[in-house]
Structure 1
C-alpha cells in the first residue's frame, strides 16, 4: 500500500514538473520580441571612429533575467574587443561571469554590408549608415523554471552623436528629417546631407502613407523609419529584417514607378511569415505585386505600366520552388509578381471581389508553421472557398499563368490624397530585395550578413525529469514483484 501511495505521489509530481507545467519550451526564441522580465535585453550603443574609417565602436549592454542561468555571446567577424565588464573569455565566446545580471562588451567592428545587388551600408569620413546585424552579438543561453527567454535587441547612439537609431538600422551624420502622421502613427524620413533625393519628400511620404492605409495584413507599426541611403551606395532598397519598422532606400529611387522601392520596402515591414526555401519567393513576389497595385491605385502610374508589370514574361518558365536552379534572383521578382497577380485575380473572381490576396497573407501571418507550397495552396483555396490547389501548384512550379486583368480593374486610381508628382523615367536598377532574419538551427556563422537566431540550451532539465521517471519505473517494478 505504501509503495502504491509513493508511486502515485511521484507520478503526480512528474505531471506538475513537466515542461508544459513549468513553462519550459524547446526551440529558438524569436528575436526582438518584448518579453518583460523574461527578455534578455541587449542595447548596442554606436559611436563613430573618426581615426578608423570603415569601422564603428559598439558598447553592448546585456541584461539577463534571473531564470537565465548561463549566457555566452560571440562577436561579429573581424571584431576587436577593447573592454569586457562582467564577461570572461571562453574560446571564441564571451561568457557572463557568475551571477552577474548586467554586463558590457565594447568592441570595434567593420561596417559595409553588401547584398546581391551591391553595397547597402558604409562608414565614411562624414557619415555612417549601418544595419543592426553588422554589429550584433550571437548568443547562447540556458534557463531553468520560468517563462521562455527572448532575445530583445535595440540600437542607440553614443552621447554627442547626431543621427537616428531605429530598431534594425541607424544613421550618424549631418541629416534632415521629415515626419508624417497617419492615423496616429508616424512615418519618418531620414535624409542624409550627403544624399541627392530624387523625388520630393512629400511624394515619398504620401506614397508610403497610401500603402499603410491600404494594407491590412501583417504588423502595422506605430513608427516606421525610412533611412535614405546616399546615392553612392547601391540602387534599390533593403529591409534589414522583415517585419521590423526600419528600411533603407537609395536616394535616387523614383516614386512614380511600378517598382516603387519606397512602397516595396514598406511592405516588407509588415511581413511576419516565415517560409521554407521553396517558398522564399513569396516574400518578394507579394511585395512587388502589391507595390505595383498600390502605386497604380494611388494614381502614380497608369494602367499600361501596371499591366506590363504584373503580366511580365520574364522568367515565366522558372520553378519558383527551386531557387538553386535560377540563374539569378530575378524569378522571385518577375514571375513571383505575375503568380501573385494571377492568384489575386482568381480570388476576386471566385468571391465576387470580397476576398483578395491580402487575406491569404493575413492568414499565413497567423500561422505558427513555416510556409510550404502545400500550406500556401491550402490557404488560397480556403480564402477562395473553392479548390484552387492544382492551379496554385501549377502556377508556382510550371509556366506562369495568364493574368485576367479585368478582375483587377477595381484597383484603378483613387486619387484622393495621392502624391502630386511629375512623371519621372523608371529607374533601371536591379530589383530590390530584403534580408529576413536567418533561421539557423545552430549558432550561426560569424561571416553571414543575417542575424542568426540565438540558440537555447536546456541542460539540467533531463536531470530532474529523467531521475523522477527512473524512480517511477523502479517503484512500479518493485510493486509487481
Structure 2
C-alpha cells in the first residue's frame, strides 16, 4: 500500500511537470550553457531611408533564436507594412518563427515621428532621418525548455549605402558631422546634422557633458556616449530613448550655461538604471534636475545665486510626490523633486563631513534588485547618513518641501567617475529650459504602462526546470521505498 501511494504521487508529479501540463511546447530539452551569449535572443534592426516615402523608413529585422527557445512570435509596430518574411509565418496579428528556423528575417516599413508631451522628437524628412529604437522595434513573446528566462537583445544598424550614425537606441541618417571627446578613456560623440544650427559651441557642449561624466559616481559609466543633436525644427528640449543606455537626443538650440541644461540633464538619464515603483517615479527626474544644477554650478557655468534659486524653488512645494494624480501640473517632480533631493544631499554631506552624498544613495539603489519604494528610499538615505532620517524623508516627499541648507552644497571641486553595468530602462524627454513649468518627462504623458507594454514579454518563467527537478526527486524517493 505504501509503495502504491508513493507510485501514485510520482505519477501525479510527472503529469504536473510535463510540458503539456505547463503549456510549454513539448520536445526533448537541449542542454544549454545559459551563461553563454548564445542563450539570448538577438534581433538586429537595419534601417534604410525611403526617398519616395517621406515619413517612413524600411527596417530589416534579423532574429537569431537559440536552440532552447522552442516558440517565438513577434508583433510589428503600429501602421507597419510587411514587405517580406523569411522563416516566419503570419499568426493573427503576430508573426511566428517556424519550428526549424534558427535565423529569421522580417522586412517592413514603419512611420517615424515620435511625439511626447512636449512635442515631436524624431522625424523622417526629404533630407534626413532621426529615429528612436522603440519606433521600429518588434514586440516579442517566447517559450523555452530549460534555464533562466532568455534575454531579448536589440541592436541598431544602418542598411548598406546609408550614411549616418547608429547608436544603441537612436539612429541618424543624413549629412552630418561628428566630434568626439575622450574622457577618462571613454568617448563622447556629438552627432551634428547639417540641418541643425547648434547654438552653443561644440566645445561648450562637450565640456559640460565631460564634467558631468567625471562628477557622476552612480550608475553605468558608458564606454561611448552618443549625443544626437536634433535639428531645430523639432521640439525644443531633449529626449533619452532608454534610461541607463548610452544615447541622448538634444535640440540644437539648447543653451549650456543654465541650471536647467538639457545637455547635462539627458546625460544624467544615461546613468539611471534603478527601477522605481510608480509612487517613486519622480526620483528619476528630480535627481536628474538637481544634479544638472549642481554640476553646472560646480563647473562654473552658473553663479551661486542661480544655483541657490534653483534648488530652493517654491514651485509645487506642497505636492505629494508619491501621488502624481494629485499634482496641478507635471512640473512637481522637477521643481519639488529637485528641492527634496537637494535637501537630502545637504543633510548627508553635513552628517558625514562630506564623505557621502546623494550619489551614494543612487549608487546603492542601483545595486538593489527590487524596485525603489518610498520605504526603501528612506531606509537607504538613513543607512548612508548613519542616522535615522526616515521621518524627514517621508515628510519631505509627501508633505511640504523641506528647507535646503545651500551652504553645504557649495563644493565646486567634484571630479569623480564611476562604473557599473547597464540595463534597459524606460525613456525620458526634456522640454526647452525656456519652459519654466517643467524640465523633463517620460513619453506619452508619463504613462508607464504604455512603455512597459512595448518591452519584450515571455509566456513562461522556467517553471519546467523547477517542477521537473521535483519530479526527479519523487522518482528517487519511490525507488528507496521499494522492498
Q: Give the TM bin, normalised by the shorter chain.
A: 0.7 to 0.9
The Cα offsets for residues 254-298 of structure 1, whole Å up to 9 and x where unpaired, read as: 110001111110010010001011000000000000010000000
Question: SS at 2:410's partner residue?
Answer: helix
What residue ranges of structure 1 are gaps of 5+ in the alignment? 19-23, 25-33, 415-425
Question: SS at 2:45's partner residue?
Answer: strand
Given candidates 435, 438, 447, the residue that maps to 1:429 is 435
2-structure distance, mates of 1:460, 1:252: 49
Give the structure 1 partner of residue 92 of structure 2: 91
- TM-score, normalization by structure 1: 0.85
Give the structure 2 partner of residue 27 of structure 1: none
- Residues 45-444 of structure 1: pairs in structure 2 closer than 5 A: 45-411=46-412, 427-429=433-435, 431-433=438-440, 435=442
Q: Is the 8 A contact 2:164 2:173 kept in 1?
A: yes
Question: SS at 2:172's partner residue?
Answer: strand
CA 1:303–1:54 in structure 2 vs 1: closer, same or farther (change >3 Å)?
A: same
Question: SS at 1:456's partner residue?
Answer: coil
Question: SS at 1:66's partner residue?
Answer: coil
1-structure distance, mates of 2:444, 2:166: 19
2-structure distance, mates of 1:265, 1:381: 28
Structure 1 residue 38 displacement after superposition? 1.2
Q: Is the 8 A contact 1:180 1:205 kept in 2?
A: yes
Q: Is the 8 A contact 2:145 2:464 kept in 1?
A: no
2-structure distance, mates of 1:131, 1:367: 28
Q: Is the 8 A contact 1:239 1:247 kept in 2?
A: yes
1-structure distance, mates of 2:57, 2:107: 11
Structure 1 residue 349 displacement after superposition? 1.1
The Cα offsets for residues 371-401 of structure 1, whole Å up to 9 and x where unpaired, read as: 0000000000000000000000000000100
Give the structure 2 partner of residue 422 of structure 1: none
Q: Is the 8 A contact 1:185 1:221 kept in 2?
A: yes
Structure 1 residue 350 displacement after superposition? 1.1
Q: Is the 8 A contact 2:262 2:433 kept in 1?
A: no
Question: SS at 1:43's partner residue?
Answer: strand
Structure 1 residue 251 displacement after superposition? 0.3
Question: SS at 1:272's partner residue?
Answer: coil
CA 1:35–1:471 in structure 2 vs 1: closer, same or farther (change >3 Å)?
A: closer
Question: SS at 2:458's partner residue?
Answer: strand
The Cα offsets for residues 209-256 of structure 1, whole Å up to 9 and x where unpaired, read as: 111111110011000000000111111111000000000000000110
Q: Is the 8 A contact 2:148 2:461 kept in 1?
A: no
CA 1:213–1:269 in structure 2 vs 1: closer, same or farther (change >3 Å)?
A: same
The Cα offsets for residues 135-170 of structure 1, whole Å up to 9 and x where unpaired, read as: 000000000013430000000011111100001000
The Cα offsets for residues 335-355 of structure 1, whole Å up to 9 and x where unpaired, read as: 000000000001111111111
The Cα offsets for residues 415-474 of structure 1, whole Å up to 9 and x where unpaired, read as: xxxxxxxxxxx9413534354899999xx8xxx46672211122995599379659959x
Give the structure 2 partner of residue 30 of structure 1: none
Give the structure 1 partner of residue 27 of structure 2: none
2-structure distance, mates of 1:161, 1:226: 19
Q: Is the 8 A contact 1:438 1:451 kept in 2?
A: no
How many equivalent pairs are there?
444
Question: SS at 1:89's partner residue?
Answer: strand
- TM-score, normalization by structure 2: 0.85
Give the structure 2 partner of residue 31 of structure 1: none
1-structure distance, mates of 2:74, 2:2: 50
2-structure distance, mates of 1:435, 1:105: 29
2-structure distance, mates of 1:109, 1:450: 20
The Cα offsets for residues 98-151 of structure 1, whole Å up to 9 and x where unpaired, read as: 220000001111100011111100111100000000000000000001343000
2-structure distance, mates of 1:220, 1:169: 19
Question: SS at 1:189's partner residue?
Answer: strand
1-structure distance, mates of 2:342, 2:465: 54
1-structure distance, mates of 2:376, 2:209: 30
Question: SS at 2:375's partner residue?
Answer: helix
CA 1:462–1:319 in structure 2 vs 1: closer, same or farther (change >3 Å)?
A: same
CA 1:87–1:397 in structure 2 vs 1: closer, same or farther (change >3 Å)?
A: same
Give yes or no for the alignment of 1:457 onto 2:459.
yes
1-structure distance, mates of 2:46, 2:453: 17
